[in-house]
């Protein structure tokens, strides 16, 4: 199976590329190596995959329709796995036009090329952020919940991508699976994410900037679990489905901080800040649909997953 994988030098994409290659897939990868964080880290991310048979890299921006078209013309992929995009909620508030260009127009480019080149299946990364600012009432987020009140530009672009993808399913028969990721973490974690920020701050004796009182809960999902869910979605073509990919067992931000303290043998210096309107009180995946359609359940708890993240951090994440 030949898979066109976008965002392949990033945190999730680079891990996924290795897993797909390991099972024998041919992987044509696309990444623009932008400077949202250090491009050298992305170069390191792809070192193993780039030495593996069946791997091809195109240094192309998904906003470049003609550049993407040349790749489709040459490779004729069997399936699309679209992970490229701008992330980080707070960054999206400062750069809404960039987020629209990449997350909406870039996705539309890939959908249109999938139609033109008759690629039958399109799997892509959406986000739990589309659920908006829910109260923490113990009720998990279900795929049938209303998602018409995004609380960030990032969330709005992800919902827009879901809707665009539906039109390509409805009009052109494209099989689409939109995977709503929930707080993914693990080796190669982006440096702007909480797991990285908290760990680095404790390690370097700097204060942690914590929005709220630490009781906000997040559905921490280890990257290996997320990869298994993505591969299941690639292996099981569906009509048009939106599926949560989460752990289903949210834990507090203080739980994460305590895991970092134990791993580092240091205490955190926490600087409490007012929680902004873009920060939900909870993210909590209802995982029943993933179990039913993909036979997928997350297996790795935060305590175990954080230890694997920390081993990577101690080895190369401090750089």
Residue 252 burial by CB count (10 A; 0-12/13-18/19+): exposed, middle or buried?
A: middle
Among residues 280, 219, 216, 223, the alpha carbon closest in space to that of 247 is found at: 219
What are the start-end ranges of the H helices in 117-222?
A: 153-172, 194-203
Question: Would you say 104 and 144 are in contact if contact means Cβ atoms under 8 Å apart?
Answer: no
What are the start-end ranges of the H helices in the chain?
A: 11-22, 39-45, 47-50, 65-75, 89-94, 96-99, 106-116, 153-172, 194-203, 223-235, 253-264, 288-294, 302-312
Q: Alpha carbon of 14 to those of 4, 8, 114, 153, 241: distances in Å? A: 13, 5, 22, 26, 25
Question: Is the Cα dihedral 51, 56, 61, 62 positive or negative?
Answer: negative
Query: Which entry of 55, 58, 154, 240 is annotated as an active-site residue?
Result: 154
Supply the DSSP symbol for 272: E
Residue 154 annotated as catalytic: yes
The residues that are catalytic are: 154
């Amino acid at each position: 199976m030949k898979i066109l994988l976008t965002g392949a030098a990033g945190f999730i994409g680079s891990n996924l590329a290795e897993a797909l290659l390991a099972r024998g897939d041919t992987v044509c990868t696309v990444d623009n190596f932008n400077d949202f964080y250090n491009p050298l880290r992305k170069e390191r991310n792809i070192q193993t995959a780039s030495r593996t048979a069946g791997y091809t890299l195109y240094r192309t921006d998904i906003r470049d329709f003609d550049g993407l078209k040349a790749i489709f013309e040459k490779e004729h992929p069997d399936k699309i796995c679209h992970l490229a995009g701008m992330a980080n909620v707070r960054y999206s508030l400062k750069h809404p036009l960039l987020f629209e260009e990449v997350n909406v127009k870039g996705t539309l480019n890939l959908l249109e090329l999938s139609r033109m080149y008759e690629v039958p299946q399109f799997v892509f990364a959406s986000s739990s952020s589309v659920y908006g600012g829910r109260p923490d009432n113990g009720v998990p987020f279900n795929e049938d919940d209303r998602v018409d009140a995004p609380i960030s530009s990032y969330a709005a672009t992800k919902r827009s991508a879901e809707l665009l993808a539906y039109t390509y399913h409805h009009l052109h028969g494209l099989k689409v699976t939109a995977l709503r990721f929930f707080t993914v973490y693990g080796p190669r974690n982006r440096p702007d994410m909480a797991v990285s920020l908290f760990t680095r701050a404790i390690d370097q004796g700097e204060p942690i900037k914590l929005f709220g009182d630490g009781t906000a809960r997040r559905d921490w999902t280890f990257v290996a679990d997320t990869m298994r869910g993505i591969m299941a979605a690639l292996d099981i073509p569906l009509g048009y489905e939106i599926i949560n990919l989460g752990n289903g067992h949210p834990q507090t931000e203080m739980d994460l901080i305590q895991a970092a303290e134990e791993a580092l043998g240091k205490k955190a210096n926490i600087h409490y800040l007012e929680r902004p309107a873009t920060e939900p009180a909870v993210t909590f995946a209802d995982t029943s649909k993933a179990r039913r359609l993909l036979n997928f359940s997350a297996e790795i708890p935060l305590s175990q997953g954080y230890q694997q993240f920390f081993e990577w951090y101690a080895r190369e994440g401090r750089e």
